[in-house]
Amino acid sequence: MNCNQISAIILAAGQSARLGTPKQLLPWQESTLLDFTISTIRDSGIEDIVLVLGSNAELIKKSLNKPALRIVYNTSWKSGKASSIRAGLNAISRAAEGVLIFLCDQPYLTAELIQKIIQTGEGSPADIIAPAIGEQLINPVLFKRRTFSAFLTLQGEEGGKNLFSRYPLQRVEWGDARLLWDIDTPEDMQKLG
């Protein structure tokens, strides 16, 4: 399994209610969090990228600097994360042997981590490859094709972590604890600086 056999889904359909403004559009490294995420995925070598939008979809779409991706509109975004994952899975390449699921608010995501996850997946019989910092499993997570049908059983805010106990999982140790940071509130953004 290599980058050409992996699709990426970026979950960016949420309303950012606690933040009060679309987190996808927050400034980060001379761009926005969402454009940073897209660029980082591209830098890792993944070409098949699906962006799932919902709330503020048109505003977010107009802001994008990286148009070479597929945009999917999740009209059921209010029902939770599970519907966005399904919308993304329905849009990925049919040839994909695996999918990496990304959030749009991880400012310390790196192409090196993405490549390490994919390389680990190549040599592992596990169906799920998840980065770990200490005991905590974090995003992005690689799900191999065998897991795809299980996403159909998820509801509401359930996500990929709900599959961790159902399939063999391999951890990828990652030393940079900043990857744990995500942005949900104005205080989170201030800490990020």
> Residue 167 pLDDT more than 90?
yes
Check residue 177 and give its pLDDT. 76
Check residue 13 and give its pLDDT. 82
Q: What is the DSSP letter of 21?
A: S
> Residue 20 pLDDT more than 60?
no
> Residue 17 pLDDT more than 50?
no
- 93-114 as b/e: b if 16+ CB within 10 A: eeebbbbbbbbbbbbebbeebb
CATH at residue 123: 3.90.550.10
Number of folded domains that form the chain = 1
The whole model's pTM is what? Answer: 0.90
Domain that holds residue 124: 3-192
3-state helix, strand, coil in the chain (%, to 5): 40, 25, 40
> Residue 15 pLDDT more than 80?
no
The whole-number average pLDDT for the span 26-47 is 88
> Residue 32 pLDDT more than 90?
no
The whole-number average pLDDT for the span 120-134 is 95
Query: For the segment 143-159, what is each residue's pLDDT rounded down to a tens digit?
Result: 999 999 999 999 999 99
DSSP letters along 55-104, please?
TBHHHHHHH-S--SSEEEE-TTGGG-HHHHHHHHHHHS-TT-SEEEEEES
